[in-house]
Amino acid sequence: QNSFDSFVVGDGSELAYTAALTAAEAPGQIYNPLFIYGGVGLGKTHLMNAIGLVALRRYPALRVRYVSSEAPANDFIDAIRTKTMDVFRQQHRTDVDMLLIDDIQFIEDKERTGAEFFHTFNTLHQAGCQIVMTSDRTPQEMPKLEARLQSRLNMGLLADVQAPDLETRIAILKRFTVSSGFHMEADVLE
């Protein structure tokens, strides 16, 4: 399970880990929005799932919505097609206390989805709802993203997750081998 306990913190992920834990423990109060970025396979989604798990344990009534960025885009297109924009907006703006969006970079070239997310962002942020996003790059590195949306994504904390150093990679392997129930010698791990 993607929890904070199972995340191995290294020098390149300490800020993102600490910010994620803070957002989970005090949703909407600090680091809102939280934007976690970095390369593929470095733990961004792991941290996002951990945020949701801790927040729900701590605040059982919290309405947490986790989506990949493709899901809102597809939901938006379906809402236009079926003329159910009110239902779409309620699901994304009203029935949410914490919005977790994975891979936000996929809305970069979707103008109408970006505009809808801009209004969703404003509604949730003004209501004090926690917003957490992950991406493979910073908002500034998304040139097709509308300027006003770039501005919103930059409002809070941008925390990068960098590739782990050798010691952290070995610690990750050790944690994996122990949790999988087998032993591996240190020289093999190295």
Looking at residue 73, its pLDDT comes to 66
Full-prediction pTM beyond 0.85? yes
Q: For 22-121, where are the E strands, in sequence order?
A: 34-38, 64-68, 98-102
For residue 106, count other CB atoms closer than 10 A to its CB.
18
181 DSSP 8-state letter: T
Cross-strand pairs, 131: 99
pLDDT by residue, tens only, the chain of 190 residues? 688 988 889 999 999 999 999 999 999 999 999 999 999 989 999 999 999 999 999 999 999 998 876 766 677 678 777 887 787 777 777 889 999 999 998 888 888 888 888 988 999 999 999 999 999 999 999 999 889 999 999 999 999 999 988 888 888 888 888 777 888 787 877 8
Q: Nearest-CA neighbor of 16 among 34, 28, 30, 29?
A: 34
What are the Cα distances from residue 15, in Å, to 5, 12, 21, 36?
A: 16, 8, 10, 10
Q: What is the pLDDT of residues 165-174, one digit of tens each?
A: 888 888 888 8
